[in-house]
Structure 1
């Protein structure tokens, strides 16, 4: 999927929006390794460097801060952000299927499954200290 620096195709725009929400949510609640792994997955898909993608996600600082506040709302478990990441990864897979990118779509379905497995582990151990353990 060739990518432009502006992510101008409708396909890229949808996928980049999913990515931005995912990394803002997981990073802001302390899942740094998860944010890095997911950034690597999306960077490969979009044929962009992880640094460029991260910069794109952080471009609107007010939006990033608002997403961080939302993700860290009192009473909201951290695992909520992990589940949101899985849902949005699955949404990215759906976009890829819609545009005929079946190989990439299947891969993103597998990534979403990994993220959901991790989210369930996080939910079960919400009071303990868990770390991102899914390899890229």
Structure 2
């Protein structure tokens, strides 16, 4: 993630540094965002960021929830919207030019290894390799 994008997310109200009851400054916005990104990107348990970033599991959970909400609020209109009729016509036309008439995008599917899969679920999510995986499916147009 580039720095300007990260700083744009950090500016969300929840992440601002606040004073506690005694007047001491609490966690910085960078600590809160870094905790959320580490939990989401590396699959850390919520209490694993305690030692590195000095915040508890409950605060880490709030950071993750607010980080996800911030991403949806900041970028949802552009990236999480339904295609308009003009979008569909454009994509259908491009698909036809590329030799795939009637196709608006392509489906991609990949198996990601689930490092922190609960032991009780390991057999249910393993397929041949013995390692639990999660299937990630995405539909994208040619320009994404």
Would you say same fold, with TM above 0.5? no
Higher relative contact order (CA 8 A, sep 6+): 1
Bigger proportion of residues as strand: 2
**TM-score after normalising by structure 1:** 0.32
Bigger proportion of residues as helix: 1
Larger radius of gyration: 2
**TM-score after normalising by structure 2:** 0.30
